[in-house]
Amino acid sequence: MEKAEVEVHKDEEVVETAGEESSAGSLTLQSEVIETTESGEKEKSLEEMEQKFEELLKIIREETLQLSESVIEEKRLTHELYVLLKPILKQLNTSFPIPTKAISLPERVKQIFLDPEGHLILKDEKNGVRSKALEDCPPEVILNVLWVVIPLLCESILSYRKKVSFRVSLFERINLELRNLFKTFVKRSEEPEEDQKEKSQEDGVRKSLLSKK
């Protein structure tokens, strides 16, 4: 009886051992499946990251190329603008005040002007003055200055046009009077010649009559 019980216990131990081994094998298999799945997901994630990274690099390359072209074009246009604006300001012979808030400067300034030579005149609180060509300023500063100057330039051109129109009107009136005076002098200078022609004709008629007698 005891022998049978011992054998039963042994069988149970074998079954339990087999169950434990089966369970351990199942856990190992599951672990391997999970690791394989995670490894596949990691590889897929890395591929997606690499693809996304390559797309971002492509965008950077394209934007860098366009940025380079835009910077060159901006420099060309600001130079051309300065070349055109400078003689206009010189012809108008006017300085334009620029609000200090319109330009971001590292130091504090009391007054800013754009002079007829196309230079920014900066006057500090101690009345120190320094100048800088508008062309040499950053594009943002140039644009802010033009944003202020263009409306003032329109007013200056309007005022200049009125002055020119006034001068034209005066010149026309003066020319008219001088033209009339010129005609009068020319007419007087031609009268003696006409008198001499009439006198010579009378002398000729008189000689002709006397010869017939």
Residues 3, 65 within the same domain: yes
- Residue 201, domain member (yes or no): no
* Max intra-chain CA distance, the chain: 206
Residues 108, 86 within the same domain: no
Residues 124, 87 within the same domain: no
> What's the total number of domains in the chain?
2
Residues 26, 98 within the same domain: no
List the structure tokens of 59: 């965008």
The range of the structural domain enclosing residue 174 comes to: 93-194
The confidence score (pLDDT) of residue 50 equals 84
- With 0-12 CB in 10 A as exposed, 13-18 as middle and 19+ as buried, what is 111? middle
- Residue 199, domain member (yes or no): no
Residues 105, 168 within the same domain: yes
- With 0-12 CB in 10 A as exposed, 13-18 as middle and 19+ as buried, what is 120? buried
- Residue 207, domain member (yes or no): no
List the structure tokens of 112: 């800013």
Mean pLDDT of 186-209: 63
Its pTM surpasses 0.95: no
Residues 106, 82 within the same domain: no
Instruction: Write the pLDDT tens digit of every residue in 47-90.
Output: 888 888 899 999 999 999 999 999 999 999 999 999 999 999 99
- Confidence band (pLDDT; 50, 70, 90) for 102? confident
- Residue 65, domain member (yes or no): yes
- Residue 177, domain member (yes or no): yes
Mean pLDDT of 89-114: 86
Mean pLDDT of 180-200: 71
